[in-house]
Structure 1
Amino acid sequence: MFDLDGTLIDSAPDIADAVNGLLAELGKPALALGAIKGMIGDGAPVLLARALAASDIGTAAAELMPRFRTFYEAASTRRTTLYPMVRETLEGLHRAGRHLALCTNKPSAATRLVMDHFGLSPLFRCIIGGDSIAERKPAKEPLLAAIAGAGGDPAQAPSEAIMVGDSHTDLMTAIAGNVPAVIIPSGYGRHAELSDGPFQQIGRFADLPATLRQLDQN
């Protein structure tokens, strides 16, 4: 089960452009890319609420979400890139018979645009977006839905699934779903720390297959 933003893709530049496009429309100055990176990870409504608060805008995020989505979906792949070795690693896992699923808080429409743009959709058996079900990460329900959609049994999640992400949110999701976690820090959102709970940390996406084989043996 893979997270998307900060794990498979570096989407922060396009997300920042959408946030700042909306802020400009509201007569507010742009936020720095680094600041917006720290707001990513808990879903678009939370991201927008944080950006509005940082810009001293009292309008509810829900009211401005449709406009934000228009900005983002119009240019969701303009500056977004895959992290190194993501495509090659995912293709190798797919060929090896791994069942891949996506579990992201990004809205489903934007998720599909990005996944299709990079040609990754055919590798995944299931894609769960932030609005696919009522709950979002770090709740366990999106993870369990992804497991089921990939052909697994949520009741057997501890032995059947592994959560791969970049942040504290992904680790909390794995803990809630009682599955092992592999964390690849990216600089998005809040970092996962060892004190938060057990996880395997790797520095490069290309190291993932070896780590998965190690976890298979445990």
Structure 2
Amino acid sequence: MARIIFDLDGTLIDSAPDIQAVANGVLGAEGHQPITLEQTRSFIGNGAPTFVARMRAARDIPDSEQDRLLTAFKIGYVSAVDLTVVFDGAVPALEALKAKGHSLGICTNKPFKPTEAILAHLDMARLFDSVIGGDTLPTHKPDPAMLHAAADALGDGLVIYVGDSEVDAETAQRGGVPFLFFTEGYHKTDLNSIPKTAAFGSYADFVDLIEKTLALA
């Protein structure tokens, strides 16, 4: 059996509309123009502090405002659940993997409280036996400590990491584990330039992909 660790935003869920709404609420309160959904997706991946820094840069807001705007962003982020959707087929695939005896975890740069809130809202918390958020440890992805912590909580078995971005690919590389790349997420560079064990664009055949990955291990 495998220990299968997933990134969250852009891998299992499309949360960009909720994140955009929070960001634009913060910007609007400061008298700044909103950011687009495309910009929002391009800013996601390295955690809330980096997102806010990129948001500020897009609106020429000085670095001195980082901490204050990050605090405001985090307050709104915890309850930002209404616009987020699960990618088609993801939940049935997760349920099938659990039924086969695999253990599942989350390793995301999203802060822990918003992660906990969105998993509860989407009735997905029941599927995961370990959840590591971007502020759970002193470091975050691509430092593989988060990935190792999520895997250690699941016991024994081959570790497989599933993600949608360059950050996830680097995390898997540095952690020394197979990486399954979801192509429909928030990656920023050409698909072919991202190191991976395999790529997939739909969860319809994901269980079979896990079995193939295990057979090659």
* Coarse TM-score class (shorter-chain normalised): over 0.9
- Residue 30 of structure 1 corresponds to 34
- Residue 200 of structure 2 corresponds to 202
The code of the aligned residue for 2:171 comes to: T
Checking the alignment, whether the CA contact within 8 Å between 1:39 and 1:189 is kept in structure 2 is no
**Aligned equivalents of 2:185, 2:173: Cα separation in 1:** 21
- Residue 79 of structure 1 corresponds to 83
**Aligned equivalents of 1:145, 1:60: Cα separation in 2:** 33
From 100, 110, 114, give the equivalent of 2:114.
Answer: 110
Checking the alignment, whether the CA contact within 8 Å between 1:169 and 1:190 is kept in structure 2 is no
- Is structure 2 residue 155 aligned with structure 1 residue 151? yes
Answer with 132-141 or 195-204: which moved more.
Answer: 195-204
How many pairs are equivalent?
A: 211
The code of the aligned residue for 1:70 comes to: I
Give the 3-state SS of the residue equivalent to 1:6 in structure 2.
coil
TM value normalised by structure 2: 0.93
User: 1:151, CA displacement in angstroms?
Assistant: 1.6
- Residue 8 of structure 1 corresponds to 12
User: 1:189, CA displacement in angstroms?
Assistant: 4.1
Runs of 5+ unmatched residues, structure 1: 153-158
User: 1:36, CA displacement in angstroms?
Assistant: 1.0
The code of the aligned residue for 2:67 comes to: A
From 19, 40, 60, give the equivalent of 1:56.
Answer: 60
Q: Residues 46-195 of structure 1 correspond to what in structure 2 (within 5 A)?
A: 46-58=50-62, 59-74=64-79, 76-152=80-156, 160-191=158-189, 193-195=191-193
Pair 60,139 (structure 1): closer, same or farther in 2 beyond 3 Å: farther
**Aligned equivalents of 1:173, 1:62: Cα separation in 2:** 26
User: 1:211, CA displacement in angstroms?
Assistant: 0.8
- The structure with the greater share of residues assigned to strand is 2
Give the 3-state SS of the residue equivalent to 1:45 in structure 2.
helix
Answer with 97-106 or 62-71: which moved more.
Answer: 62-71
Residue identity (%) = 36
TM value normalised by structure 1: 0.92
**Aligned equivalents of 1:179, 1:191: Cα separation in 2:** 21
Checking the alignment, whether the CA contact within 8 Å between 1:168 and 1:193 is kept in structure 2 is no
Runs of 5+ unmatched residues, structure 2: none
User: 1:190, CA displacement in angstroms?
Assistant: 2.1
**Aligned equivalents of 2:185, 2:86: Cα separation in 1:** 15
- Residue 215 of structure 2 corresponds to 217
Checking the alignment, whether the CA contact within 8 Å between 2:106 and 2:132 is kept in structure 1 is yes
User: 1:119, CA displacement in angstroms?
Assistant: 1.2
User: 1:191, CA displacement in angstroms?
Assistant: 4.0
- Residue 44 of structure 1 corresponds to 48
Give the 3-state SS of the residue equivalent to 1:100 in structure 2.
strand
Give the 3-state SS of the residue equivalent to 1:163 in structure 2.
strand
The code of the aligned residue for 2:31 comes to: G
RMSD, aligned α-carbons: 1.4
Q: What does the per-residue CA deviation read over 1:35-88, in whole Å, with 9 as the maximum and x for residues that have no partner?
A: 1110001111101100001100003423322211112223x1111000001111
Give the 3-state SS of the residue equivalent to 2:6 in structure 1.
coil
Checking the alignment, whether the CA contact within 8 Å between 2:11 and 2:185 is kept in structure 1 is no
**Aligned equivalents of 1:206, 1:127: Cα separation in 2:** 24
